[in-house]
């Protein structure tokens, strides 16, 4: 909940007129309580946590997340009846293991989706992702030179600079979804 980029992104999406609900997976909440770093929960726990978090949200619903949260969102979008999926930095494969892809379900995804991905993301570069079979409902917007956090360049950039491009594409995508559903 305290990741500066995600907090700023959620705040900016809210300021653009979209309701935002944030939550932590159980392992993250436990880390916040005791400060101990731990491995992510098993997939069934992550999926259930996402379902639980979305259960009180009134439609229309767009699900999303950053990295693993986005991957789990992509797995529950159809079950939840989401009108869209927004992912920041999808983990297409583990770092250094491009042969272990996490894309099988993305070939069949029916929910309109926008993945915002850095071209230098170690979890899926542009060259790698362009070889994957992805559903026609998925659009990938590339941040040139961006890493997994979508930051570009070697030095520290202000969050606002990193936020600008992804935010513009995200709000346009969300607006298009609401126009279609509305």
Q: Residues in the chain with pLDDT < 50? A: none
Two tokens, residue 63: 């699900």
Q: How is the chain split into domains, by residue range?
A: 4-181
Q: Given this model, what pLDDT does residue 155 score? A: 60
> CATH number for the 4-181 domain, one of 3.30.428.10, 1.10.3720.10, 3.40.50.1820, 3.30.1370.140?
3.40.50.1820
Q: Given this model, what pLDDT does residue 1 score? A: 75
Q: Given this model, what pLDDT does residue 182 score? A: 65
Q: Given this model, what pLDDT does residue 164 score? A: 86
28 exposed, middle or buried (CB, 10 Å; 0-12, 13-18, 19+)? middle
Per-residue pLDDT of 40-91, as tens digits, reads 999 999 999 999 999 989 999 999 999 999 999 999 999 999 999 999 999 9
136 exposed, middle or buried (CB, 10 Å; 0-12, 13-18, 19+)? exposed
- Within 10 angstroms of residue 43's Cβ, the number of other Cβ atoms is 12
């Amino acid at each position: 909940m305290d990741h500066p980029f995600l907090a700023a992104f959620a705040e900016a999406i809210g300021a653009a007129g979209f309701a935002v609900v944030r939550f932590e997976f159980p392992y993250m909440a436990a880390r916040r309580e005791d400060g101990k770093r731990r491995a992510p929960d098993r997939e069934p726990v992550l999926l259930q946590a996402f379902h639980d978090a979305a259960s009180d949200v009134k439609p229309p619903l767009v699900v999303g997340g950053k990295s693993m949260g986005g991957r789990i969102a992509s797995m529950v979008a159809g079950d939840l009846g989401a009108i869209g999926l927004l992912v920041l930095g999808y983990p297409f494969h583990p770092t250094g293991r491009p042969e272990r892809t996490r894309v099988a379900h993305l070939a069949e995804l029916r929910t309109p989706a926008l993945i915002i991905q850095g071209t230098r993301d170690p979890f899926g570069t542009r060259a790698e992702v362009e070889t994957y079979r992805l559903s026609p409902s998925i659009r990938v917007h590339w941040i040139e030179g961006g890493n997994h956090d979508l930051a570009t360049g070697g030095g520290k950039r202000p969050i606002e600079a990193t936020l600008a491009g992804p935010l513009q594409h995200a709000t346009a995508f969300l607006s298009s979804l609401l126009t279609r559903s509305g």
